[in-house]
Amino acid sequence: LGDVVNPLAYWTFEDCFDYITKYKIPIHPLHADGYPSIGDKKDTVKVPEDGSVKYVDFKFEGNKAEWLDYAAERKGRFTGLQNKDGSVKTECGIHVAGAEKTWDRDLWEDGKSKVKELTKADAEKLEKAGKDTLVVTYAPWCQFCQGMEEEMEKFASSMDGKIDVVKFRGDEERDFIESKFEATGFPTITLVDKDGKVIKGDFNEPEKRSVEAFTKFVKDNTGVAA
């Protein structure tokens, strides 16, 4: 038996719903009634329990972050159940312990990285800051964000302060990043120039996320070279 590839291995819950939305895939009708994940009847509840979040006719109603935050796909299952050791049950038991965890640290760690953290308050004022800023909208659990960490770090170092290179964790602020940085997935790389213009980069494919590509994107749109 040769190499085996699972194309869904690193898909997030959000990736699944994005695919369903794009291709109009038939899904379980209980998603439209407020259930993000369907298990057995007695131990499965709506999330949140008031049913304010639903997925109806290929679009979300309510605060979709309730369903799409990291590991939130397990919310609503195993309600009231315990493992043999008395701990709260969150898995069916067929998974290796810890298999659901895909990250153990933040990316571009504070104090060690040239890529600085952008707070939401500063993001609100970014268009009026009067300085060219490259914004990386990311999620620490995202395989593709993890894969470009080193290249983005090298790029930030090469710019040597000529522009600001910042990160914004987007999985906890989904509506905000879409309106502010045109970010609908991770990673998204956006340039906010000194005049406040927001320019979304074309970095959808992993092979495009290189120091050379980031440098060209900035130079083409600002004239600033490394």
Q: pLDDT tens for residues 129-178?
A: 999 999 999 999 888 999 999 999 999 999 999 999 999 999 888 889 99
Alpha carbon distance, N-terminus to C-terminus of the chain: 48
pLDDT surpasses 80 at 185: yes
Query: What pLDDT score does 35 carry?
Result: 94
Comparing 141 with 90, the larger pLDDT belongs to 141
Measured CA to CA, the distance from residue 118 to residue 139 in angstroms comes to 14
Give the predicted TM-score (pTM) of the model.
Answer: 0.69
Measured CA to CA, the distance from residue 142 to residue 171 in angstroms comes to 10
In contact, 162 and 226? CB cutoff 8 Å? yes
Binning pLDDT at 50, 70 and 90, where does residue 96 land?
very low
Give the residue-averaged pLDDT of 100-124. Answer: 88
pLDDT tens profile 30-77: 999 999 988 888 888 999 999 999 999 999 999 998 998 876 777 888
Measured CA to CA, the distance from residue 206 to residue 183 in angstroms comes to 16
pLDDT surpasses 70 at 91: no
Helix ranges (DSSP H) in 50-195: 65-68, 120-124, 143-147, 149-159, 174-181
Tokens standing for residue 210 = 């290189």
Binning pLDDT at 50, 70 and 90, where does residue 121 land?
very high
What 3-state class would DSSP assign to 16? Answer: helix
pLDDT surpasses 90 at 80: no
Measured CA to CA, the distance from residue 165 to residue 135 in angstroms comes to 6
Which of 46-50, 101-105, 149-153, 185-189 has maximum average pLDDT? 149-153
H or E stretch at 59: strand 59-61
pLDDT surpasses 70 at 102: no
What are 167's strand-pairing partners? 117, 136
Least confident of 98-102, 164-168, 179-183, 200-204: 98-102
Indicate the residue type of 182: E
Q: Is 16 exposed, middle or buried (0-12, 13-18, 19+ CB in 10 A)?
A: middle
Nearest Cα to Cα of residue 170 among 130, 117, 221: 117
Measured CA to CA, the distance from residue 79 to residue 94 in angstroms comes to 18
Tokens standing for residue 58 = 């290929």
